[in-house]
Amino acid sequence: ASSLGAAAAQSGRYFGTAVAAGKLSNGTYAGILDREFNMITPENEMKWDATEPSRGSFNFGSADQIVSHAQAHGQRMRGHTLVWHSQLPNWVSALSATDLQTAMDNHITQVMNHFKGKIYAWDVVNEAFADGSTQHRSSPFQDKLGNGFIEHAFRTARSVDANVKLCYNDYNIENWSDAKTQGVYSMVKDFKARGVPIDCVGFQSHFGSGGAPASLQTTLSNFAALGVDVQLTEVDIAQASSSAYAGTVNACLNVARCTGITVWGIRDSDSWRSGDNPLLFDGNGNAKAAYTSVLNAL
């Protein structure tokens, strides 16, 4: 195949990237995007601070730009993200428990309704677990609404849209033996046992230069065995070695329910970790060695 998207499609998977609306007018950027990728995650444009900067006042302008671009170029979308402690406007953090619950439900409802029919999967809750622990992290949602806020968010999301896939997304859950991985695994197992609607788990996969932990494939298969799809949702790897990228991609390819891979940006210069040169294209938009290694692995 002659592109990442086409290569991934040979096995029924997608290959995506994070996109910033403000860069779509850059010809080099849009050229690579439309040549290589068939799934798009808005890098920031669907986060709470962008979509509901003040209570009840919704702004979908920049996210709509990305959705329009995707529709014009036959790309699907991951929605990112509805409930997250970060990039959360101050007004949300200041609410009482009762108001926070109402605001959370309203945010999920308004945002999902706006994009209904245009999104393949939503990251309903992002990064709710604490590093080095099986427990949830402290956040306005956790601290005011308690442990049940994740279940509540998924149930609300399902009530808004019966068709879209609902994902839990996190980082540092790629290594099977990590406490955080086990905590998320227990939650998904419990959700499936009790019929709480969850369809997928996103493994962000922000890796150091060594690449994925050796257990990544085991982790993906163990989660998949619970009855959820799994996806690598924000891949970037310090120094982007060919072998680290190939290992990461192969872990997904070896798991039937690993449905796709998204890298977190196009060129190194677009990366939130630009100092690590962690992506598949250099600052000039030229494919790096890791690009070829991924293309060959797919």
Active site residues: 127, 234
With binding defined as CB under 6 A, does residue 126 bind ligand XIL?
yes
Question: Rounded to whole angstroms, how far apart are CA atoms 24 and 203?
Answer: 26
- Is the CB of 149 or the CB of 298 nearer to ligand XIL? 149
Q: DSSP characters for 155-182?
A: HHHHHH-SSSEEEEEESS--STTSHHHH
- Which residue is closest to ligand XIL by CB? 272
Q: Say how many CA atoms lie within 13 Å of 27 toward its Cβ.
A: 0
Q: Which of residues 188-217 bind ligand XIL (CB under 6 A)?
A: 204
Q: Does 272 bind ligand XIL (CB under 6 A)?
A: yes
**Count of residues touching ligand XIL (by CB under 6 A):** 6
Scanning residues 227 to 256, which ones bind ligand XIL (CB under 6 A)? 234
The answer to whether the CB of 166 falls within 8 A of the CB of 156 is no
Q: Which residues pair with 287 in a beta bridge?
A: 281
In the complex, minimum distance from the CB of residue 57 to ligand XIL, in angstroms, rounded to a whole number: 22
**Closest-CA residue to 167 (of 203, 191, 189, 200):** 200
**CA angle (118, 103, 42) in 5-degree steps:** 35
Q: Which residue has the tokens 């799809």?
A: 229
Residue choice 5, 13, 29, 43 for contact with ligand XIL (CB under 6 A): 43
CB 217, min distance to ligand XIL, A: 22
**Contact between 44 and ligand XIL per CB under 6 A:** yes
The contact set with ligand XIL (CB under 6 A) reads: 43-44, 126, 204, 234, 272
